[in-house]
Chains A and B, each alone.
Chain A
Amino acid sequence: GDSVTQMEGPVTLSEEAFLTINCTYTATGYPSLFWYVQYPGEGLQLLLKATKADDKGSNKGFEATYRKETTSFHLEKGSVQVSDSAVYFCASSIQGAQKLVFGQGTRLTINP
């Protein structure tokens, strides 16, 4: 069945470091792909999305490119800030269904 696999955390970086969080998916057909962010004590917020192959989603300095050939949607940011500390979830739509399937989440901590 459809699934999403994220790199295991936690990930700890220093401020201004380069960030990559890996995400790969298995799906029937061509899903839409999403990254969500969860700040402490809050629900999930949509960070970015891509709906077809080679699309690049971007928001708040974060980017992710939909790679059909590698079935990946890695999240990147060139220079992280302390305020980026949060849990990040990769998600994939399921073709023909109204649901999303989520990865297990990656906890990111940025130290000043």
Chain B
Amino acid sequence: DVKVTQSSRYLVKRTGEKVFLECVQDMDHENMFWYRQDPGLGLRLIYFSYDVKMKEKGDIPEGYSVSREKKERFSLILESASTNQTSMYLCASRSRQGGSNQPQHFGDGTRLSIL
């Protein structure tokens, strides 16, 4: 089974802090994704990466950056945290083999509160 591990289940930070959310997958997947989940808005894609050191903006990249130095690890960075970034953050990975038939595999999420 694919395992996607997010480093923290719950995180509390202060406004203006630099925040790092870490995600690791164990299936050698090429693609990795960061989403945020908010009530009534579903999942919104922040950034994704299709290979090491490669990244592409999703639908809501403002206020975020990402890093992918190794294939198994994809980090989401909040450069200067703000209260409107309080949310559930979900990481996912996916194999590029088989094209669009391949599902995404999700971690358990990090519930981030910015005070």
Q: Are A46 and B42 in contact (CB under 8 A)?
A: no
Chain A CB within 8 A of B12 CB: no
Among B61-69, B72-80, B100-108, the stretch in contact with A: B100-108
Contact B100 A104 (CB under 8 A): no
Which of A37-45, A65-73, A78-86 lies on the face that meets chain B? A37-45
Interface size of B by Cβ–Cβ distance < 8 Å? 24
Residues of the B chain whose Cβ atoms lie less than 8 Å from the Cβ of A77: none
A102 touches B42 (CB 8 A): yes
Contact present for B101 and A51 (CB under 8 Å): yes
Docked pose: A59 CA to B92 CA in angstroms? 21
Contact present for A98 and B50 (CB under 8 Å)? yes
The total of chain A residues at the interface (CB under 8 A) is 23
Q: Which B91-115 residues have a C-beta within 8 angstroms of A?
A: 92, 94, 96, 100-101, 103-109
Asked whether, in the complex, the Cβ of A43 is within 8 Å of the Cβ of B100, the reply is: no
Q: Is the CB of B107 within 8 A of A89?
A: no
Determine if A100 is an interface residue (Cβ-Cβ < 8 Å). Answer: yes
Q: Are B96 and A98 in contact (CB under 8 A)?
A: yes
Tell me the bound Cα distance from A103 to B104 in angstroms: 15
Q: What residue of chain B has the Cβ atom nearest to residue A4's Cβ? A: B42
Q: Which residues of A contact B106 (CB under 8 A)?
A: 36, 43-45
Q: Please provide the 9 A-B residue pairs with the shortest distance between their CB atoms, ordered closest to farther.
A: A93-B100, A43-B106, A104-B42, A44-B106, A102-B43, A43-B108, A46-B103, A51-B101, A32-B100
Given pairs A44-B104, A103-B42, A104-B40, 13 additional interface contacts (CB within 8 A) = A43-B106, A44-B92, A45-B106, A51-B100, A51-B101, A94-B100, A95-B100, A98-B50, A98-B94, A99-B45, A99-B48, A102-B43, A105-B43
B residues in contact (CB < 8 Å) with A: 4, 31, 33, 40-43, 45, 48, 50, 58, 90, 92, 94, 96, 100-101, 103-109
